[in-house]
Structure 1
Amino acid sequence: MATDTASDAGTTTTSEPLHINGQSQLDEVVAEHDVVLTDFYADWCGPCQMLEPVVERLAAETDAAVAKVDVDTNQQLAGAYGVRGVPTLILFADGEQAEEIVGVQGEEQLRSLIERYTE
């Protein structure tokens, strides 16, 4: 991936959210990482903004990769996953969609969800 720097190349996790643009990029991220928490969001969405610092901490502190998908610029992608409201979080494990959470969740809930798949 072009965004890799020498310091994180070859590692299995990323320390900050990856901004996804399109299905093929999401497929690559899901294929590359064992567990991917995907945040479908919109810039105008208040609850999404509340969730942002939580998602950033999870990217930095857990073994999951975190992907962010702006539903306004990726309407087809959001539709492909049945996203009807934002925020919607979809967790992929081993390349498969494993969980879907709609609405704002607490950091501990999301952390324990990720840990179920990363341990």
Structure 2
Amino acid sequence: MTEEIEAIRRQKMEELRNRDEAGATDEVEPRSPSEPVPVDGKAELNETVSERDVVLVDFYADWCGPCQMLEPVVESIAAETDATVAKVDVDANQALAAEYGVRGVPTLLLFADGEPAERLVGMQDEARLRSVIEEHA
């Protein structure tokens, strides 16, 4: 089961990369993806944060109940705001989570202009996330 999930995750990441690469040549400024972008590793996170103005990074775990409850909220944020939403699986990226001081999930970090601007730990409501994004947009 875990191998199947990893295979699907890799396929989705490849589809997102291909879609972003195809669209990047047509646009002067990259648009925020309308779905959360899976991030695997420090290099991908750094690239995402450096290419976008406002990035909300969701550090999560598949086994985490509050993370599962937060999923539709971050999907809505990705679809309806100018912020890019990046998702980091803490089980697959333990060193990255440790580097950013993630001790519990869900932890949300907001990056504005490439720099960490906000940290939110635990379940958050959509209005709170939108407010934080608007403050830094």
| Band of TM-score, shorter chain | over 0.9
Of 70, 78, 81, 2:97 maps to 78
Paired amino acid for 1:106: D
Are 2:45 and 1:26 aligned? yes
Q: TM-score, normalised by structure 1?
A: 0.94
Are 2:20 and 1:4 aligned? yes
Tell me which structure has the larger Cα radius of gyration.
2
Report which structure shows greater RCO (CA 8 Å, sep ≥6).
Answer: 1
Q: In the alignment, what sits opposite 1:100?
A: 119
Rounded to whole Å, the distance in 2 between the matches of 1:3 and 1:71 is 25
Q: Deviations over 1:30-66 (max 9, x none)?
A: 0000000000000000000000000000000001000
Are 2:110 and 1:91 aligned? yes
Q: In the alignment, what sits opposite 2:86?
A: 67
Q: Secondary structure of the equivalent of 2:20?
A: coil
Q: Percent identity, please.
A: 65
Are 2:119 and 1:109 aligned? no
- Which stretches of structure 1, 4 residues or more, deviate above 3 A after TM superposition? none
Which sections of structure 1, spanning at least 5 residues, go unmatched?
A: none
Q: TM-score, normalised by structure 2?
A: 0.82
- For residue 99 of structure 1, report the CA deviation from its aligned partner: 0.4
- For residue 3 of structure 1, report the CA deviation from its aligned partner: 4.4
Paired amino acid for 1:59: A
CA RMSD of aligned residues (A): 1.2
Q: Which has the higher helix share?
A: 2
Paired amino acid for 1:30: V
Q: In the alignment, what sits opposite 1:46?
A: 65
- Give the number of equivalent residue pairs: 117
Which sections of structure 2, spanning at least 5 residues, go unmatched?
A: 1-16
Q: In the alignment, what sits opposite 1:16?
A: 35
- For residue 2 of structure 1, report the CA deviation from its aligned partner: 3.9
